[in-house]
Structure 1
Amino acid sequence: MKNSGQLVKVSIEAFDNEDFTIKTKLETNPIFLPVNPESFTQNFKVELNEQKGQGNQSTNANYKGTKPEELKLEFIFDGTNTIQGYNSKLDKNFIQDQSFEAKPKPVKEQLKLFMDTVYNMSGEIHRPHFLKLHWGDGFKFTCILSNLDLNYTLFEPSGDPLRIKASATFLNYVAQKERVAREKKRSPDLTHVRLVKSGDRLDLMTFDIYKDPKYVTQIARANNLSTFRKINPGLEIVFPPLDKSAP
């Protein structure tokens, strides 16, 4: 989409299923953040096993897994009607329905709308909603809320809040079946079945799974093969998890 110069705000769309195909029936869905964040933070983390063995001074940091990406947004809810761009008539979710001017809804109402979308448990699915965050055409993020901090900074004489600074952390969410398709696991800790093709060699197939051809004799025994030097095309070979201490 070409840059038209029009302000595009962050939107949050709520869904009732992890495949993001059933939109939640809320009064307003999606909602738009009243003020875009000045910046956002993405966090990527690789989880490593750094436990030291007994008697060792150091150890290799072994890969355990990749944690879901985190996205942190900081923005405000405001009821003072003094922030430029806040009371745009395009923002139907956080303004009063006025014929001649757009005024922000009370901050408590703005916050409730936000909480109903991202935090409060849905009676339909017995958990908070699955979410899609959009910022124009350039940024899309499927996620769930993992943390929300609210800092009340300005109040009416009655004690009602006039401004809240929000810091929300969203955790990337991928449905299980999509995750499996993306990973296409080839771990040696899983059982694999391979169909022998013309020209295949058992030692090379073993290396492909276990990254070491020395287990070829174990694979031959596991498949009741009399030899590993010649395997016939069309044969199914099972590569199970191995006892690597065995000869």
Structure 2
Amino acid sequence: MSDRGTLERLVIKAYEKADYSGQPLSQFEAFINPNEITLAYEMEYDSAQGSGTTNSRMNFKKVKPGDMSLTFFIDGTGASGRPASVQDKVEQFQAVTGYNGNIHRPNYLKVGWGTLQIKRCVLKSASIAYKLFKPDGVPLRAIITANFTDNSDDQTRVAMAQDQSPDLTHFRLVKAGDDLPSLCHQIYGDPRLYLQVARANGIDDFRNLVPGTKLRFPPLEK
């Protein structure tokens, strides 16, 4: 979380491994944060229609990988108080999100900003519009419109489609009156897992949770 008064910028981090392990290969930081983020989801159904009926029953199959659209504005005029080389920023975006010869495919990406859930994705398409030029042809402003598609593995994507899924790590801020067994029951459906959660958070006295404490509830085997 940013300190109060500090502007947090949207960041795209690139990875070479499909499991996103290790340190990021490189990253792109938005020059000016987007004023709009579009998330698109699609559900897939099987339509079952009984013989002699006119209506079909839509049986849910799966949540298909979703898309995310972002628009980045780059200003090289200095009007924003942060002079930048437009072409350098464009090339940085292309290097982070584009084709990587080491893995013979585009990089695996994580996109994160503020409280938005970090999205694992890959670049689907991008367009660059140059809007203003110096007399010698050097670009002064550019708009990058980028579309990303979800790259979460099937297990993670299915878990994300389920409310309070125990297959994903959850975080909770302790409120007055909360106790660890009850929180474990809410998340895992099993209050007996409180000792494992206490160990995961380094809690010695699980009976006296301090309000405002952030607790991590990792995936656990029941």
Cα distance in 1 for partners of 2:155, 2:104 equals 21
The equivalent position to 2:136 in structure 1, one of 144, 158, 181, is: 158
The equivalent position to 2:91 in structure 1, one of 112, 123, 146, is: 112
The equivalent position to 1:130 in structure 2, one of 108, 111, 123, is: 108
Q: Does the 8 Å CA contact 1:18/1:174 hold for their aligned counterparts?
A: no
CA root-mean-square deviation: 3.1
**Bigger Cα Rg:** 1
Opposite residue 158 of structure 1, the aligned amino acid is D
Matches for 1:80-99 after TM superposition, within 5 Å: 80-84=77-81, 87=82
- Corresponding position: 1:43 with 2:40: yes
Q: Do the aligned partners of residues 51 and 154 (structure 1) sit closer, same or farther apart at CA in structure 2, a change above 3 Å counting?
A: farther
Matches for 1:204-223 after TM superposition, within 5 Å: none
Which residue does the alignment assign to 1:34? 31
**Which ranges in structure 1 are unaligned for 5 or more consecutive residues?**
88-102, 184-247
> CA deviation digits over 1:174-219, x for unaligned, max 9?
2356568889xxxxxxxxxxxxxxxxxxxxxxxxxxxxxxxxxxxx
- Please give the secondary structure, in 1, of the residue aligned with 2:106: coil
Cα distance in 1 for partners of 2:77, 2:132 equals 9
Which residue does the alignment assign to 1:145? 123
Calculate the TM-score normalised by the size of structure 2: 0.61
Q: Do the aligned partners of residues 24 and 2 (structure 1) sit closer, same or farther apart at CA in structure 2, a change above 3 Å counting?
A: closer
Which residue does the alignment assign to 2:64? 67
Which residue does the alignment assign to 1:12? 12
Query: Number of paired residues?
Result: 162
Tell me by how many angstroms 1:113 deviates.
0.8
Cα distance in 2 for partners of 1:126, 1:69 equals 24
Cα distance in 2 for partners of 1:42, 1:180 equals 17
Q: Does the 8 Å CA contact 1:18/1:175 hold for their aligned counterparts?
A: no
- Corresponding position: 1:76 with 2:69: no
Cα distance in 1 for partners of 2:147, 2:132 equals 23
**Which ranges in structure 2 are unaligned for 5 or more consecutive residues?**
162-222
